[in-house]
């Protein structure tokens, strides 16, 4: 299975492939887009977390951490792209959307995903210090909440982790 991208639309091609994404799953190909956003964050001196939001075979939004650049502690990649997608669709709810992010979301981002009614979260590396999905907290497992988010973790985990480790190693 191969994905091709054109004007923010992705198309699944089960028959053939291309040299860029051959042998990768749909989730891996889409996580590679999130990784490209994370690399943009590095160039801006930001923690390299990137995210994309997909719905109905369309990439609705993509972004990366910009807390330092925007002087905004809430400017995590997930929050920025939820804002963009909400504006694009003229709706604060994004049912049926899948959010791809290179690092397990924090409490703030997990809460925003619940409020936005995200259907599926796909993340790369776990966050053993602040992860709110599987590492430290298990927000989406709370039965008291009125929405659940399906979760797939560990997609391109090694690549996502290596990018973060390299960034922090260079900072020390």
Query: Which residue would you say has higher pLDDT here, 4 or 76?
Result: 76
**CA distance linking residue 7 with residue 98, whole number of Å:** 18
Per-residue pLDDT reduced to its tens digit, 1-29? 445 454 455 554 433 333 355 678 999 99
How many other C-beta atoms are found inside a 10 Å radius of the C-beta of residue 70?
A: 12
| Catalytic annotation present for 157 | no
Per-residue pLDDT reduced to its tens digit, 115-157? 999 999 999 999 999 999 999 999 999 999 999 999 999 999 9
Active-site residue, selected from the candidate residues 78, 87, 157, 159:
78
DSSP 90-151: T-S--TT-EEEEEE---HHHHHHHHHHT-SEEEEEE--TTT-TTTTS--GGG-TTSS---EE
Residue carrying the six token digits 């259907």: 119
Q: What is the mean pLDDT of the chain?
A: 90
């Amino acid at each position: 299975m191969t994905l091709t991208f054109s004007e923010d639309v992705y198309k699944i091609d089960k028959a053939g492939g291309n040299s860029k994404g051959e042998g990768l799953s749909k989730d891996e190909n889409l996580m590679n887009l999130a990784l490209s956003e994370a690399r943009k964050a590095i160039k801006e001196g930001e923690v390299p977390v990137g995210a994309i939001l997909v719905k109905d075979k369309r990439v609705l939004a993509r972004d990366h951490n910009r807390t330092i650049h925007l002087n905004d502690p809430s400017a995590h990649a997930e929050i920025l792209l939820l804002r963009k997608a909400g504006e694009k669709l003229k709706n604060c709810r994004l049912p049926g959307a899948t959010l791809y992010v290179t690092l397990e979301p924090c409490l703030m981002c997990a809460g925003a995903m619940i409020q936005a009614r995200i259907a599926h979260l796909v993340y790369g590396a776990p966050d053993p210090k602040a992860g709110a999905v599987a590492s430290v907290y298990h927000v989406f497992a709370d039965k008291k909440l009125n929405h659940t988010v399906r979760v797939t973790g560990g997609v391109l985990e090694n690549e996502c982790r290596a990018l973060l480790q390299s960034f922090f190693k260079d900072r020390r």
